[in-house]
Structures are given as structure tokens and as C-alpha cells.
Amino acid sequence: MSGITLVQYLRAQENITPGATGEFSSLMNEVLVAAKLVSREVNRAGIGEDIIGLTGEVNVQGEEVQKLDHYANETFIKILSQSGKVCAIGSEENETAVLVPKEQQTSGKYVFMMDPLDGSSNIDVNVGIGTIFAVYKKISSGDTVTDEDLLQKADRQVGAGYILYGSSTMFVYTTGNGVHGFTLDPAIGEFYLSHPDLKIPSRGPYYSINEGSVSLWNDKQKSLVQYFKETDEETGRPYRLRYIGTLVSDFHRTLLKGGIFMYPGDCKNPNGKLRFAFEAAPLAFIVEQAGGKASDGKSNIYTQSPTELHQRIPLFIGSKEDVELAESKLR
Ligand code: AHG
Ligand code: MN
Ligand code: MN
């Protein structure tokens, strides 16, 4: 199989980035190793020592921790803490950030935010699951990590990406120079460039939302979804419904085919379910780079900062025309 590998692509990107020190490339080389380890476990879940099922713990979100959640979280934390490139790791699975103190040789200048295993409810039923990550530079002076470093505006990201453990394992990322997709050849353990410079269609044929929650939505949300179901040739309606229940899978389809993914707030959870730092902000960077948009229903997520590490935020993300239509109907 010919083609450029992710390692080669990172080096090529570094060579054309003024002032690049190579530290980001080496961080990403650690991330892709963790991704391959998680991919291997995902692909043999159910065989041998059982990685399927629950650990019996409950995480900071109040959710039962799946064994694969735990494995992915520990794998990324272990590898990144030893990388020498990271001073703090914020994880959806950990109440507080994991700090890599300056005096430890293995500390570094980046702050890493991650949802180590997205789509936990789909682990045991062989449906796509993922990892989402965002990379920021430490900005506070001095050796300690503060909230200034952990609660940064989404547009201060220096990199963001996701791994999709699906029918194939894909690694999709941006550093602000477009969005690039790589596919893992498990036979040799290399990611090969398969989707260069991804651009999202300006509007799409799909809408994606958990309609099971319709009774919890406000009237504007109900009429927005009703709008996508109406017949209108000119605007390509009715849209088709696709909902996988793994954000990474629903987002990846939206990125490639177009349309809108929605996880709105509702009367039980006004800020919805998804997390700003670990899910919305990294995907907002990626979709912006692909020509799309991410909104909380009122304003662009990419220009917002979180108020606390596990802040949740309503998410409307995808094709620019579809997201702006949603904002106009929700306003
Ligand atoms: P996680 O497994 O990291 O908690 O994320 C699950 C999220 C997201 O992947 C998906 O879009 C959403 O949960 C599905 O939620 P519902 O089951 O409420 O639709
Ligand atoms: Mn998630
Ligand atoms: Mn998760």
C-alpha cells in the first residue's frame, strides 16, 4: 500500500510551519500510539480477557464506567504523562485534571483535553466508538497549571482530532491548516492518508438527533425538527434521519456527507449532555476548518470559553447553512 503515513505527514506539516519546534509532532506521535493500543482492544473486545462490560465504578458524570472507558483513559494518560510534551491532561473520566509537574522530566508545554472513549453505550454492541482530543498551549506564567490553562477559549486550540474505531480505524485531525483523515492498516500498524483536506458540504441530506427525547424539548426545538421532516423540493426536504448514538460516528458522517447533528438542552438538562472541553470544542475547531459551524443554538462555540472543566453545552454542529438555519429557528 503506497501513500503517506501519519508520521510522515506530521513531519511534512512541521517543516512548512514557521517556528515549529517538532514538539507538537512528537506529541501527536504519542497520541497515535495510544490510538493504536485502544484500537487493538476495541477490535478484539469479547475475545480472551473480557474487556467488555462494566468496571463497577461510577465516574464524575455519574455514569457507569465501562472497562474499555477505563482502559482508554489509562492508556492515554500513561503515554501522555511520559511524553515530555504535556503539563496537564483533562479527561471526561477524571474529576480534576491530571497534572505532570514541571519538576518531572516528563512535563511539557501542552494542555491535553480528551474524551478517551466516546459512545460508551455502543461498546458492547459492536457499533462505532471513538476518542476525541484537543491540544492547547500552557499560557499561565510560572510552573503550576491553573484554570487559565484548563479553561481556554476554543479558538486557542493548536490542534484537535478524533479517532473513530469503526469498520476501519480512522484518525482525523486539524492544526488550523485544514482537516486530514488517515486510515489504519492494522496489518502493519500504520495510519495512511486517506481523506486529505476534508470539506463539509454547505448543507446536507441528514439530520441527527435522539428523537426519543422529543417530550423534553421546548417548542422551538420541536418545530426545528418538524421543519426537517416537511416536504420541500427546493431545500431538499425531508432530510433523512441518521442517529448512531456515538458522537464521533454521527459527527464523522456529518463531516463527510453534510447535514446537522443536534444534542439540544432540554427541560431536564438545560445545557444538554455533551461536554464543552472534551467534545464540543475540539469538534468545533475541526468543523470550522472544514467550512462548517458549531453552535450552542444561539452563538458559535468556537469563540466561547468553558466556565468549569466538565461544563456541558448544547451542540448544533455540521453544515454551515443547516446550523445557521437551526440558530434562526431557535432564536
Ligand atoms: P460518552 O460515551 O463519552 O459519554 O459520550 C456519549 C455521548 C455521545 O457519544 C452521543 O452523541 C450521546 O452520548 C448519545 O446520548 P443519548 O444516548 O442520550 O442519545
Ligand atoms: Mn463522549
Ligand atoms: Mn466518554
- Give the residues surrounding ligand 1 with Cβ less than 6 Å away: 92, 115, 118-121, 210, 245-247, 263, 273
Q: Which domains does the chain have, with CATH numbers?
A: 6-195 (3.30.540.10), 206-330 (3.40.190.80)
Burial class (CB in 10 A: 0-12, 13-18, 19+), 188: exposed
Q: Return the pLDDT at 141.
A: 92
Distance separating alpha carbons of residues 26 and 13, to the nearest angstrom: 12
Q: Return the pLDDT at 14.
A: 93
- Angstrom CA distances, 325 to 102, 176, 185, 214, 254, stand at 47, 26, 39, 19, 16
Residue pair 204/257 in contact by the 8 Å Cβ criterion: yes
The single residue listed with the C-alpha cell 488517515 is: 182
* pTM as predicted: 0.96
Residue closest via CA to ligand 1's atom 11 equals 247
CA atoms within 13 A on the CB side of 243: 13
Residue closest via CA to ligand 1's atom 16 equals 245
Ligand 3 center–CA 260 separation, angstroms = 21
Q: Return the pLDDT at 117.
A: 97
Distance separating alpha carbons of residues 266 and 282, to the nearest angstrom: 23
Distance separating alpha carbons of residues 115 and 158, to the nearest angstrom: 17
Q: Return the pLDDT at 44.
A: 86
Counting ligand 1 atoms within 8 A of each CB, the residue from 68, 213, 273 with the most, and so the one to mutate, is 273
The single residue listed with the C-alpha cell 490510538 is: 35
Residues ≥6 apart with Cβ < 8 Å to 272: 263, 264, 265, 266, 312, 313, 314, 315
Residue closest via CA to ligand 1's atom 7 equals 119
- Going residue by residue through the chain (331 aa), what tens digit of pLDDT does each one get? 569 999 999 999 999 989 889 999 999 999 999 999 999 999 988 777 677 778 888 888 777 777 899 999 999 999 999 999 999 999 999 999 999 987 878 889 999 999 999 999 998 899 999 999 999 999 999 889 999 999 999 999 999 999 999 999 999 999 999 999 999 999 999 999 999 999 999 999 999 999 999 999 999 999 999 999 999 999 999 999 999 999 999 999 999 999 999 999 999 999 999 999 999 999 999 999 999 999 999 999 999 999 999 999 999 999 999 999 999 999 9
As a dihedral over the C-alpha atoms of residue 129, residue 131, residue 132, residue 137, rounded to 10 degrees, the angle is 180
Q: Return the pLDDT at 62.
A: 79
Distance separating alpha carbons of residues 71 and 276, to the nearest angstrom: 23
User: Of the candidates 217, 211, 210, which has an alpha carbon nearest to the alpha carbon of residue 330?
Assistant: 217
Distance separating alpha carbons of residues 203 and 318, to the nearest angstrom: 8
Q: Return the pLDDT at 104.
A: 79
Q: Return the pLDDT at 295.
A: 98
